[in-house]
Amino acid sequence: MAHVKLSQREAILLEVLRAHGTEDQEIIDRFKSGDIRPFQQIEDGRFDFAHLLDLAQSQWDLFERAVRDGYQIKFSTFNGIKTLLSLKFQQQAERDYAVHEDYLERVRLKQADVEWLRSTISPNWQIIETERRPDTDEVAITIALARP
C-alpha cells in the first residue's frame, strides 16, 4: 500500500508529538475527539497543532493512515530533512553529520531507519549509502538533491 502524502509541516508536527513521547493511539484518539489541548503545552506552546487538527477533521482517513501506516512528504526541503533527523533520530547538524550547500554527509542510521527516511522524504532527494559497518546494523548515508 502506498503511503499517503502529507505536507512537510504536517509531517513535522506529527513527529514532534512522537518525539515528545506521544503514542500513535493517543494521537489518533485526541485528534478524533478534537481535544489537543495537552499537545499545545509541548515546549511551552512552541508548536501550533491547529493545522494538523484541520487535516484530521477534513480528511480523517488520510490522517489516520498517516499515523498508523506512514506517510511520504509531498515536498521535502533541506531544513525540513534536518528537522526530521533531529526529531526522529536525535541527529544534529554539524555534531552528527556534515552539512554542505545541497547535501548532508555522513548521516549514520540503522538500516531500518534509512528505509523509513527513504520512504518518507520526497523524491526530489536521494539517499546514497556510503558505508556499511559489517559488525553493526549502522549505515552511513549522504542525502542529496536528486539530479535530473
| Model confidence at 97: pLDDT above 80 | yes
Q: Pick from 107, 75, 113: which is nearest to 94 by CA? A: 107
> Which three-class secondary structure string do you get for 48-107?
CCHHHHHHHHHCHHHHHHHHHHCEEECCCCHHHHHHHHHHHHCCCECCCEEECCCEEEEE
Q: What is the mean pLDDT of residues 79-90?
A: 98
Return the minimum-mean-pLDDT range out of 41-45, 82-86, 119-123, 132-136: 132-136
Give tens-digit pLDDT for 18-32: 999 999 999 999 999
| Model confidence at 46: pLDDT above 60 | yes
